Structures are given as C-alpha cells and as structure tokens.
C-alpha cells in the first residue's frame, strides 16, 4: 500500500490498564476530548488508564473499506509477541519520553494473533511483523515510522482487519507507515523465542532471563501500549536485525521479551 502521512487522523476511545499500572505512557499520551473543541493537552505523568480519546493514524490502521462496518459490530484481539528493540534490557521507553541515548528505538515485533476479529472478518492464527524506529521524542505521541509486514497467508480483508486492530494496540501517530507481504516464522520454546521474516530481512532470537528460582523473570503490572490486558513481560536478551524500506539495523544483547495481550471493543460507525 505504500507510505502514509499524518493527514488522515481521527479520534478513538481506548481503555488503559488497571489501577497501579504504568505503561508506555510517554509514547502514546497525546489525547483529545471526544466531541470537544478544546485544545489537545499532554498528560505528563498520568497513567494510560486515564486516557479519554487518542488521535491515531486513520487511513493506515483503521480503514474499514473492505469490512463494511455496520451498527453494533465488535472487534477483539488476543496475540502473542516476540519483541526486541535497540535499548538495553529493560526498554526505558516504557517509563520515559525519550529512548535510551535520546535518539532512536529501533524495533522488531513479531506478532501471532491467536484469536481476533473485526466485524465478521476473523484473523485467528494470522501473523504480522512490525519493524521501524520510534524516534527520539515520544512526548506528543508521535512515532517516526514503521513497516507492517503481513504473512503471505493473510488475505486482503484480513490485512484491513489487522490494520484496525494494530491501531487499537498502538494508538499513536506515525510519521511514515508502509506495508509489505512476506513469510513469517514464529516459534517459542520455553523461555526462548525465535522469529524470522521473509528470506532473512528480519530476525529475532530471544534468550530468556531467569531469576534466582530458575524460572523466567516476568515484569508485571506494566501496561503494553494500548492493550487492555497482558500477562506480563517475560524478559529476555535479544539478538535481532531488520533491513528494508530504508531501515538497516542490527543489535545483540539488547532488550527483548515475550508477552500475550488482549483487547476488545465496538467498531465505530463514524469513520
């Protein structure tokens, strides 16, 4: 579909985490009161649970041209992640308005949707890969750019549904967003994970971090972006890379984790 700009923005109500949860509040905190002419405000240290409506990229993530949205349609997603970025463990972007080093956070998110739908379009078992760079300043909820790659088995209608769902999980503005199609390998073995994109354009290898009891260390009570629920960040050291669409990065011994998320809601009819 090519790149998209920030010209097609719209309001979306989202739900945050439970009381006491902290999340990536500084990379997605630009809000706008629904049905209001008030000037947008920045929420500083407020938790994601206090959000009302986030401005998101419209045409990229929430296009329903292939879905024929109707009254009372619902959406839901349950997904497993193999994720890595350029920060050291654990990624400070979840608690700050700038990444480690203050310049960039380059990432690879390999996502396997276990259950999901938008209206009558089901995406159970679909895989999608997000790669790109968050940039150096998250204070206004604006990310630099990303590439969304769909597995070759994902149909065009499912692609539209997945864009919508990713917009719910990542309710931020992207300066540039591109899409692509390539085979995605996704596999988990105990506390370790491995994902591969295409012929090797992207790859993530996770080696789980264990606590004193010999079990994988899990970071709890932290929000994952706009997801309503998660099972905790299962910490790992990562080795990962991505090359394509203007990106070229490679990292070793960096932040990584596996996580399962869940969200659901109603499809808005006024797009």
Query: Where do the domains of the chain lie?
Result: 9-62+96-266
pTM comes to 0.76
What is the residue-averaged pLDDT of the chain? 80
Contact of 111 with 202, CB cutoff 8 Å: no
Question: Could you give the CA distance from residue 144 to residue 141 in angstroms, rounded to a whole number?
Answer: 10
- Write the pLDDT tens digit of every residue in 97-152: 889 887 899 999 999 999 999 999 999 999 999 999 999 998 888 999 999 999 99
Tell me the two tokens of residue 128. 């999608």
Are the beta carbons of 84 and 256 closer than 8 angstroms?
A: yes
Give the helix/strand (H/E) hosting 208. strand 202-208
**Which of 32, 28, 26 lies closest to 13 in space, CA to CA?**
32
Q: Cβ distance 99 to 116 under 8 Å?
A: no
């Amino acid at each position: 579909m090519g790149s998209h700009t920030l010209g097609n923005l719209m309001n979306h109500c989202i739900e945050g985490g439970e009381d006491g949860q902290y999340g990536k509040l500084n990379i997605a905190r630009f809000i706008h009161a629904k049905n209001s002419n008030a000037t947008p405000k920045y929420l500083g240290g407020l938790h994601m649970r206090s959000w009302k409506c986030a401005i998101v990229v419209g045409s990229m993530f929430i296009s329903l041209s292939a879905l024929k949205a109707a009254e009372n349609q619902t959406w839901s997603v349950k997904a497993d992640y193999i994720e890595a970025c350029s920060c050291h463990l654990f990624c400070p972007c979840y608690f700050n308005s700038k990444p480690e080093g203050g310049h960039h956070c380059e990432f690879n998110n390999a996502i396997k949707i276990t259950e999901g739908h938008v209206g009558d379009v089901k995406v159970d078992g679909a895989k999608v890969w997000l790669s790109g760079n968050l940039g150096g300043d998250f204070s206004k909820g604006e990310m630099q750019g990303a590439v969304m790659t769909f597995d070759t088995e994902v149909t065009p209608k499912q692609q539209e549904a997945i864009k919508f769902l990713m917009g719910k999980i990542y309710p931020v503005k992207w300066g540039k967003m591109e899409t692509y199609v390539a085979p995605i390998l996704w596999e988990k073995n105990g506390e370790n994970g491995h994902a591969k994109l295409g012929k090797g354009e992207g790859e993530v290898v996770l080696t789980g971090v264990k606590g004193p009891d010999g079990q994988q260390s899990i970071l709890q009570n932290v929000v994952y972006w706009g997801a309503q629920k998660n099972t905790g960040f299962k910490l790992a050291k990562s080795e990962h890379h991505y090359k394509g669409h203007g990106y070229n990065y490679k990292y070793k011994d960096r932040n990584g984790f596996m996580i399962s998320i869940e969200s659901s809601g109603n499809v808005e009819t006024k797009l």
